[in-house]
Amino acid sequence: MIRPQAGTGWAPAGRPRRLPANYHKLHGVRQFHGCYSVGDDQLWGVVRRKSAANTLAALKSIRAARPDGAPI
C-alpha cells in the first residue's frame, strides 16, 4: 500500500500572499442585462446598477426588442 509521507514539496512553505477581499463596494454593483439572438448572432444589452427595478426594466426592454412580440 502506498501512503503519503510528510516531507519536502515543490511549493514554498508558509502562507500564500493574497490580497484581502473588498466586500465594501464604494460605488455599488453593476450588472450587465443582455440577450443573445441565435438567429442574428447578435448580443445586446445594458449595464445598470443592481436593483430589482433595473432588472425588471431590462427584461421589459428585451421583450420589446422582439419583432414578433413573443415571450422570452
Which percentage of the chain shows pLDDT scores above 90? Answer: 7
pLDDT of residue 14: 76
Which 3-state string (H, E, C) describes 2-62? CCCCCCCCCCCCCCCCCCCCCCCCCCCCEEEEEEEECCCCEEEEEEEECCHHHHHHHHHHH
pLDDT of residue 53: 94
Domain residue ranges in the chain: 30-65
Of the ranges 14-18, 19-23, 39-43, the best mean pLDDT one: 39-43
Handedness of CA 24, 27, 36, 67 (dihedral sign): positive
